[in-house]
């Protein structure tokens, strides 16, 4: 009986409705260039400083593509959903592991990062892995991240798609709308890691500018308006629990409608 249930479960996965929007990357997702990094400036308020990280080597030839749309293998009893991506011009470690991202240093070397529903975050040293997902629709963002835990933001470095158990649970995620995903900071930073806290987020179908859309980052009640899609180093935070809220807003300061465009996270510093 269990085998029959598992077979039916596998068939349900084979009928997942996946809205892969990787074709839109070249047209809709902004390319984070060296020029954009150079133009970003440091921001200081209430003793908190955001410094853009501009000394990144850049890997414009790195490419991530989706191969299997979260199907193609039976789901085991634990509910793990298989994913298969292909990585080109981006070196991954040979360990072939996956781990839940709970703090800054969760993976040695370059890796593939997956964010499920802008909540669960996983790092992988292999492009083929399985994730424990509950039944129902999910939004899956996967992108390449370097050994400094900074995302690659050029065209072709990410895949965004939604998956659902069946036609009846497809969900209403609009893959063509502007979206903001939270990546860092996350979890607990101890020792030297507490001195190197990075703010990094992922944008889809939008760009940032002084007269256009922006990301409003609120750190412990202090607001910063970010006009550039670059990673920032955060300084001046007190030990203990800290709170960050990221919002995608328009030129008038209004939040842009989207399921993940206003999210709050807490993270801890343990010097």
pLDDT of residue 149: 86
> What residues does each domain of the chain span?
12-270
- Give 168's contacts (C-beta < 8 A, 6+ positions apart): none
Q: Residues 254, 170, 184, 89: is their CA dihedral positive or negative?
A: negative
Question: Is the pLDDT score of 142 beyond 80?
Answer: yes
Read off the pLDDT of residues 202-226 as tens digits, 9 standing for 90 and up: 999 999 999 999 999 999 999 999 9
DSSP 185: S
H helices of the chain, in order, are 2-14, 25-28, 34-39
Overall average pLDDT of the 17-34 stretch: 41
**The three-state (H, E, C) secondary structure of 201-227, written as one string:** EEEECCCCCCCCCEEEEEECCEEEEEC
Read off the pLDDT of residues 71-96 as tens digits, 9 standing for 90 and up: 433 444 456 888 999 999 999 986 55
Overall average pLDDT of the 45-65 stretch: 91
DSSP 260: T
In the structure, what pLDDT confidence band is assigned to residue 58 with cuts at 50, 70 and 90? confident
Question: Is the pLDDT score of 165 beyond 50?
Answer: no
Q: Residue 248 and residue 213: Cα distance in Å, rounded? A: 7
In the structure, what pLDDT confidence band is assigned to residue 244 with cuts at 50, 70 and 90? very high
CATH H superfamily, domain 12-270: Immunoglobulins (2.60.40.10)
């Amino acid at each position: 009986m269990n085998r029959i249930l598992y077979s039916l479960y596998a068939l349900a996965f084979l009928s997942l409705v996946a809205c892969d929007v990787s074709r839109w990357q070249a047209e809709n997702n902004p390319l984070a260039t060296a020029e954009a990094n150079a133009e970003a400036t440091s921001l200081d308020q209430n003793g908190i400083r955001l410094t853009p990280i501009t000394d990144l080597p850049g890997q414009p030839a790195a490419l991530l593509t989706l191969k299997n749309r979260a199907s193609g293998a039976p789901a085991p009893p634990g509910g793990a959903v298989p994913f298969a991506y292909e990585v080109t011009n981006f070196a991954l470690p040979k360990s072939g592991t996956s781990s839940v991202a709970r703090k800054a240093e969760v993976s040695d070397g370059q890796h593939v990062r997956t964010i499920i529903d802008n909540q669960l975050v996983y790092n992988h040293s292999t492009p083929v892995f399985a994730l424990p997902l509950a039944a129902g629709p999910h939004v899956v963002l996967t992108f390449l991240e370097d050994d400094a835990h900074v995302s690659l933001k050029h065209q072709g470095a990410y895949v965004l798609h939604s998956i659902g158990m069946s036609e009846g649970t497809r969900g209403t995620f609009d893959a063509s709308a502007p979206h903001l995903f939270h990546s860092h900071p996350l979890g607990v930073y101890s020792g030297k890691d507490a001195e190197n806290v990075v703010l990094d987020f992922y944008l889809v179908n939008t760009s940032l500018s002084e007269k256009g859309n922006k990301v409003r980052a609120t750190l412990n009640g202090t607001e910063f308006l970010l006009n550039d899609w670059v990673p920032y180093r955060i300084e001046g935070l007190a030990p203990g629990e800290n709170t960050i809220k990221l919002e995608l807003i328009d030129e008038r300061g209004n939040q842009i409608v989207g399921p993940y465009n206003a999210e709050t996270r807490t993270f801890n510093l343990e010097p």
